[in-house]
C-alpha cells in the first residue's frame, strides 16, 4: 500500500503547485518534493516506511522535479519571460546598453538580449539527464541528509554534484545555440557599434559563451 501511496502523493504534491511555486521562489520543485516526503515518511497510521521506500520516493520526486524544471526552462520564453532568471546584458556592458539606447539603437540591444535567452532555453534541454544521473547515484546517506536538511538541501546536493558536468555539457551547447539564434551576430553588432563611437574611450569585449553559460546554470539552479 505504501509503495502505491508514496509515489501518488509525491506526484500530486509536485504537480499541483509546480507552475506557481517554481516561478516565484528558488527550489520550487525540490522544496515541494521534500515537503511531501516529510509528510509521508512516517507512513500511514504511524507505520513507518522502509528505507528503500523512502529513498525510492525521494529519487522519484527529485527526478520529476528536475525533469519538469528542465522542460519549463527549455520552452519558449522559459528564460526570457521570467524576470527572476532572464539573461540581461552583463554588468560591464551596462554602459554599452545605455549609450546605444540613447543613440536610438535600442532595437539592436533588444535583439542581443532576446537571442541570449533563446540560447539559454535551447541549452536547458540537456540539463535533465545530468540531474537524473546525479539523483540515481545518490546514496542512502545523501538521501537522509536531504530529508533531514533545510528546504534547499536537495538543490544544494544537485548543485554540488552537477555543476562541473553541467558546465562541461552546456558550454558547447550554448556556443552552438548562440550561433543558431544569431546571438553571436547581434552581440558582435552591439559591441562593434559601441566600440566605434567617438565617445568610447575603453573598448568592451565580453566572453559571450562564458557569460550565457553562467547565467543559464544560475537560472537552472534557481528554478530547480
**SS3 per residue for 93-125:** HHHHHHHHHHCCCHHHHHHHHHHHHHHHHHHHH
| Position with higher pLDDT, 3 vs 191 | 191
Q: Rounded to whole angstroms, how far apart are CA atoms 122 and 73?
A: 9
| Sign of the Cα pseudo-torsion (88, 175, 107, 190, in order) | positive
| Position with higher pLDDT, 37 vs 54 | 54
Closest CA to 210 of 114, 78, 97, 119: 119
Q: Rounded to whole angstroms, how far apart are CA atoms 120 and 86?
A: 9
The count of other CB atoms within 10 Å of the CB of residue 150 is 12
| Position with higher pLDDT, 224 vs 140 | 140
Q: What average pLDDT does range 75-86 have in this prediction?
A: 96
Chain center to CA of 49 = 32
| Assigned C-alpha cell, 81 | 519571460
pLDDT at 31 over 60: no
Query: Are 165 and 130 within 8 A, CB to CB?
Result: yes
pLDDT at 100 over 70: yes
Q: Which residues contact 179 (CB under 8 A, 6 or more apart)?
A: none
Query: Are 40 and 6 within 8 A, CB to CB?
Result: yes
Tens digit of each residue's pLDDT (9 = 90 or more) over 125-165: 888 888 888 888 888 888 888 878 787 787 788 888 888 88
pLDDT at 188 over 70: yes
Q: Which residues contact 155 (CB under 8 A, 6 or more apart)?
A: 26, 27, 30, 31, 221, 224
Amino acid at each position: 500500500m505504501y509503495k502505491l501511496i508514496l509515489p501518488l502523493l509525491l506526484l500530486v504534491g509536485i504537480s499541483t503547485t509546480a507552475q506557481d511555486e517554481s516561478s516565484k521562489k528558488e527550489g520550487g520543485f525540490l522544496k515541494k518534493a521534500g515537503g511531501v516526503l516529510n509528510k509521508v515518511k512516517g507512513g500511514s497510521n504511524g507505520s513507518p516506511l522502509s528505507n528503500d521506500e523512502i529513498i525510492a520516493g525521494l529519487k522519484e520526486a527529485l527526478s520529476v522535479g528536475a525533469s519538469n524544471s528542465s522542460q519549463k526552462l527549455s520552452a519558449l520564453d522559459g528564460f526570457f519571460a521570467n524576470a527572476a532568471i532572464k539573461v540581461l546584458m552583463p554588468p560591464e556592458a551596462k554602459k554599452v546598453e545605455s549609450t546605444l539606447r540613447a543613440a536610438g539603437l535600442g532595437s539592436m540591444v533588444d535583439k542581443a538580449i532576446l537571442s541570449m535567452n533563446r540560447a539559454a532555453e535551447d541549452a536547458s534541454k540537456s540539463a535533465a539527464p545530468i540531474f537524473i544521473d546525479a539523483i540515481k547515484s545518490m546514496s542512502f546517506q545523501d538521501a537522509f541528509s536531504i530529508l533531514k536538511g533545510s528546504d534547499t538541501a536537495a538543490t544544494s546536493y544537485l548543485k554540488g554534484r552537477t555543476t562541473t558536468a553541467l558546465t562541461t555539457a552546456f558550454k558547447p551547447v550554448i556556443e552552438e545555440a548562440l550561433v543558431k539564434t544569431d546571438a553571436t551576430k547581434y552581440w558582435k553588432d552591439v559591441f562593434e557599434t559601441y566600440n566605434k563611437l567617438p565617445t568610447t574611450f575603453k573598448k568592451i569585449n565580453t566572453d559571450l559563451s562564458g557569460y550565457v553559460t553562467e547565467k543559464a546554470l544560475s537560472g537552472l539552479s534557481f528554478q530547480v
